[in-house]
Structure formats: structure tokens, C-alpha cells
Amino acid sequence: MIRKALRSAAAHQGSAGRRGSATLTAVLALSLLATGCGAQSSPSVSSPRTVTYWLWDSNQLPGYERCARDFERRNPGVKVAISQISWESYWTKLTASLIAGTEPDVFTDHITKFAQFTDLDVLAPLDELPETKGIKDSDYQEGLAAAWKGQDGHRYGAPKDWDTIAMFYNREMTEEAGISDRTLNNLTWNPADGGTFEKAVARLTVDTKGRRGDEPGFDKNHVKTYGLATNDEGDADGQTQWSAFTGSAGWNYTDKKAWGTRYNYDQKAFQSTIAWYFGLAEKGYLAPFENFSESNRAEVQLGSGSAAIALHGSWMTKTVYGMKGLDPGIALTPVGPSGHRATMMNGLADSLTKRGGKKPAARKWVAYLASDACQTTVGERGTVFPATKSGTRTAIAAYRKEGIDVTAFTRPVADRTTFSYPITDYAADVVALMKPALQDIYANGKPVSSLDTTNRQINRILAQD
């Protein structure tokens, strides 16, 4: 295991992801080498009757604080200490805590980090512990629980919530363009001419002289409002960028649904989709690469009026609907060449560290987090969709109470037109290679055929084992 970590470290010293999270495997491996020893214990951070729990989403914090109070009432004498750390710092601090021996007992885990943690052997297998071994796949939305099983067959994450991708849009702009809500929910696309989706995006694009993208004289070099916002969150998975299109083209990231052994970035279905998608920027319909920044993300472009549509995740619903002066709507992603629509479904989980696994209180807390009792509590706030079916229903009702229709996020789950993040080893290495390769296509017009070389490099890394 450590040998694999060191190979990843050697390949990516100093590399970091878009959100500032360096490859965990590399940081941890190099730090352990530098110190010459393993993590040291830190009794002051965690005691047998105190459970430490980390999460990154401030919007979810109040719901989990309520869960903690209820858990403490059910378990007299036990205290839950919650730390909310911003996404930008979360993974770096978690890695540092694992090195220093100050890691939390329980933490919110992301599927893109899962392989690295199992490789480093820092997680406790939930199916081997009396308090958590009763977690069943059928208790949760389909596919969520199964994704958190390692290559050894053990479960290392208790499902907590899920999200999908849909199209947020500025209703004032769509109405001015003569595009109805019904039309937006029935768009189609293809890599040849873009279908009705491209026609809609062109219609919603307006240059500085008021000419639309489908009108004579449209000036693609002087655009006031782009039909489609840019979102540089794609990395190697394109979650809020191109994933809905590659998915509906019938393309799969890897050769297997979980723990794939090779990537498919060299396949025609992927490359033709990418060429069409980034080609929208060349036509002036998609906001250019340089328009994106941490302070001008897709939702900000939508709220400011510089874009009419933004593909984004369900976790952004409250943020978008809270924007002053914006009358938003949410539409389904377009139907693709495969004949169906598709959206990435990501599910977070709560993982138990090895130290937490030795504490009955921490094991009980993980089991409680995965229960209907906690997940309906979180669902009542209408910020995310909890993983249990009851929790999901509660969240839908909470959104409905606020006048927000989230069907565009929930229907793909019911229709089973979702797909998962790719789960493989060396996820950080894949991002380090694919992100600049995709940016070169988007920003500099490099041909998509260049991804053949990148794909070979990635698959050579995966073949090391």
C-alpha cells in the first residue's frame, strides 16, 4: 500500500487541485517519509466519551448540530464535537491531522478521495463493527451504499446524501427569448449540430448590440449575455461541465462501474462530445474559459445576468434561489444521442477513521448519521437530499414548502438515468493529467485527438499494479 502511495507522491510533488486540495496520497506519503514515523496519538483532541466529527458544508451544519443534540440525548454522557471546515482547506487539514495523529473520529468523505484513503489503510471497515454492520444497500437510494465498498469488499462509508446535475436558468431571460419552461425540459442535443439545446443556447446569447446568437449580424466577440455559463469544476470528471452530455452520449469513464482498470478518454463518443461542447465557446454561446474565477463561478454568472443557463448541482439550489433579483427555474438535462438524458449522481458518506473505530461512541455516531432519524432531520432543512428514501422525501417536501420544484434533480433518480463518479485508484493523478489537457482544448483550441496521449499516460499509471 505504501509503495503505491510513494509512486503517486513521486509523480505529483507539489500538484494541487482547483480547490487547493493537494493529492492526499502524495502529501501523506511524503510527510510520513520526512518524519520517519507514523502518526502520533493526541489524547487531548478526542476522548472515549467525545466524538469528533468534521464536515465542510456550512449550509448543512445546523442540521447536523440538531442530529448531534438528539444523539447526545439518546446516549447520556456522550458529546459530539463538530468542526466545519471550508472545502478549500478541508482535505489539506484532514491529511495533516492524519499525519499528526489529531484526525477526527468521523468525517464527511467524498468518492474522489475514497480510493486514496482505503489505499492508505486509515479507515475502519464498517461491516466488521457491531454498531455499523447492519447498514444495508437497500436502505438508501440505489447505488449510494454499494459505491462505498472497497476492492476488498468491505464497506468504508455510511451514505449521508446525494446530488445530481440539472440546468438552472434565468426565467426572465428565457421568457424574453420565447423559450418556455416546457421547451427547456424537452431539449435534445447531438455532436453534429447541437440539436434543440444548441438552438436554445444560441437564442439566449445576446451581444452588446442586442443581437441574439441565432440572428444575422451576431457578434461572438462582444457578448453581453452568454446562453451557457462556464464552470471550471470539471477536472477529469466534468461533473458540472460536460458530464451530462458525455453520459447521454452513452459513454462511460472506465471499463467498470467501480474500481475501473482503464479510462476511455480516447473513445469517439467522448471526444466528439467534448469537441462539440467546447466548440460552443468558439461560436460565442458558451462563456469563454477566462470568464471563470473563484469569484465568478457559474452561479454568479447566472445571478449577475452574464449567463442565462448554468449546469450545476442540486447542492446549489438554495444559493441560486436566494439570489436577489433573479427569478430562477430548474430544467432537466437534454436528451442525447443515446436516446435518453443522463446526470451524474454523487453520494457523500461518513467514514470512520481507524482511531474512531476503536471508540464505541464514534461507531454509534456513524450508525446514527446513516439512520432515518438523522437524515429526516437534515432533510427538513431542504439543503441537500439525504441518502435514505425517507430523508429524500422529507427534503423534497421542504423545498416544495418554499416554492421550489426540484423535479429536475429527483426525476433522473426515479428514471434510473444517473451514472456515478468514476471510482479508480490514482484519482489525483488522473486529475493532474486530464485537467490541463481539457483546459488546453477549451482555452486554446487544441484538438480533442490530443486526449489519446493523455489517456495512454493515465492508463499506464493504473496498470502499475
Q: Which of 378, 450, 275, 439 is nearest to 63 (CA)?
A: 378
Q: How far apart are CA 189 and CA 195, in angstroms?
A: 4
- What's the mean pLDDT in 156-179? 98
**What is the average pLDDT across 201-215?**
98
pTM of the model: 0.89
Per-residue pLDDT tens for 427-459?
A: 889 999 999 999 999 999 999 999 999 999 999
Provide the residue ranges of all domains of the chain, joining segments of one domain with +.
2-162+350-401, 165-344+426-462
Which secondary structure element, helix H or strand E, spans residue 415, and what is its range? helix 407-415
pLDDT tier at 4 (50, 70, 90 boundaries)?
Answer: very low
In this structure, of 27-36, 44-53, 284-293, the range with the lowest mean pLDDT score is 27-36
Q: How does residue 32 score in pLDDT terms, banded at 50, 70 and 90?
A: very low
Residue-level pLDDT at 48: 78
Phi-psi region of 238 (alpha: psi -120 to 50; beta: other; left: phi over 0): left
2-162+350-401 matches 165-344+426-462 in fold: yes
- The CA distance from 393 to 429, in Å, is 38
User: How deeply is 440 buried, as exposed, middle or buried, from its count of CB atoms within 10 A (0-12, 13-18, 19+)?
Assistant: middle
pLDDT single digits (tens) 348-357: 999 999 999 9
**Predicted local distance difference test score (pLDDT) of residue 465:** 66
Distances (CA, A) of 216 to 202, 203, 213: 12, 12, 8
Q: Which CATH number is associated with domain 2-162+350-401?
A: 3.40.190.10
For residue 234, the 8-state DSSP code is: -
Overall average pLDDT of the 221-245 stretch = 92
CB of 360 closer than 8 Å to CB of 368: no
Region 133-150: what's the mean pLDDT? 93
CATH assignment of 165-344+426-462, among 3.90.1150.10, 3.20.20.210, 3.40.190.10, 3.20.20.150: 3.40.190.10
Which pLDDT tens digit goes with each residue over 330-368? 999 999 999 999 999 999 999 999 999 999 999 999 999
Distances (CA, A) of 315 to 251, 299, 406: 25, 11, 11
Query: What average pLDDT does range 211-219 have in this prediction?
Result: 98
